[in-house]
A and B are shown apart, each in its own frame.
Chain A
Amino acid sequence: DGGITQSPKYLFRKEGQNVTLSCEQNLNHDAMYWYRQDPGQGLRLIYYSQIVNDFQKGDIAEGYSVSREKKESFPLTVTSAQKNPTAFYLCASSVRDRESQYFGPGTRLLVL
């Protein structure tokens, strides 16, 4: 089955803790993206990567970090600097930049 997988489905973070959200795709897509969705709102771009070993900040990158060491993987770390991390996090990929983006099932992050 080709697609995008995200894990875990639910994640709980304690104060001051860094947590990492996983995103894997086996679609052979070059570009990958991380979005944040708050209740009743659209998606806001956190980071994106057009190619391995390269990534760019989106609109709300503060308090987040990413890496792109492999084409298939684009993990997102929510650091303790992100003061309001509770949200639904969505990973997406596209064949190349500016093509249709396909989304994973999402990870819901909650703060204890």
Chain B
Amino acid sequence: GESVGLHLPTLSVQEGDNSIINCAYSNSASDYFIWYKQESGKGPQFIIDIRSNMDKRQGQRVTVLLNKTVKHLSLQIAATQPGDSAVYFCAENAGGTSYGKLTFGQGTILTVHP
């Protein structure tokens, strides 16, 4: 079936740097995407979402970019802080009869060094 995947399983950055986490999706019918942050032993925390009628959306210190041509999604974190260290998941919703079903990628581990 269709799936969401991540290019890099781990990403290490220095505090203050900008981080970019990438995600490839294969279902061209997907029209809604969400980024989540999950700290160890906790539930995923919503970061930002984007619908397919947009190619960029900004939040506080985060930006999500959507390139539908190449089916690519990225999360940019500005001025990365140690508290940003976590696993980051992208998720897609394919719409139609998929209702609220989200398909999650495996996740990228972000480690921020002080």
Interface residues of A (CB under 8 A from B): 4, 6, 31, 33, 40-45, 48, 50, 56, 58-59, 90, 92, 94, 97-106, 108
Contacts and interface: CB of A to CB of B under 8 A. Distances in A.
Which of the listed residues B45, B93, B102 has the most CB atoms from chain A within 10 Å of its own CB? Answer: B102
Majority secondary structure of chain A interface residues (helix, strand, loop or mixed): strand
Interface in B62-114: 89, 91, 93, 95, 99-102, 104-107
Instruction: Give the interface size bracket for B toward A.
Output: 20 to 34
Contacts of A40: 106-107
Interface of B: 4, 32, 34, 36, 41-46, 49, 89, 91, 93, 95, 99-102, 104-107
Contacts of B95: 98
B99 A97 contact: yes
A96 B105 CA distance: 23
Contacts of B106: 40-42
A50 B99 contact: yes
Contacts, number: 63
A45 B101 contact: yes
A105 B42 contact: yes
Contacts of B34: 100-101
A58 B104 CA distance: 13
B74 to A, nearest CB: 17
B9 to A, nearest CB: 9
B43 A98 contact: no
Contacts of A48: 99-101
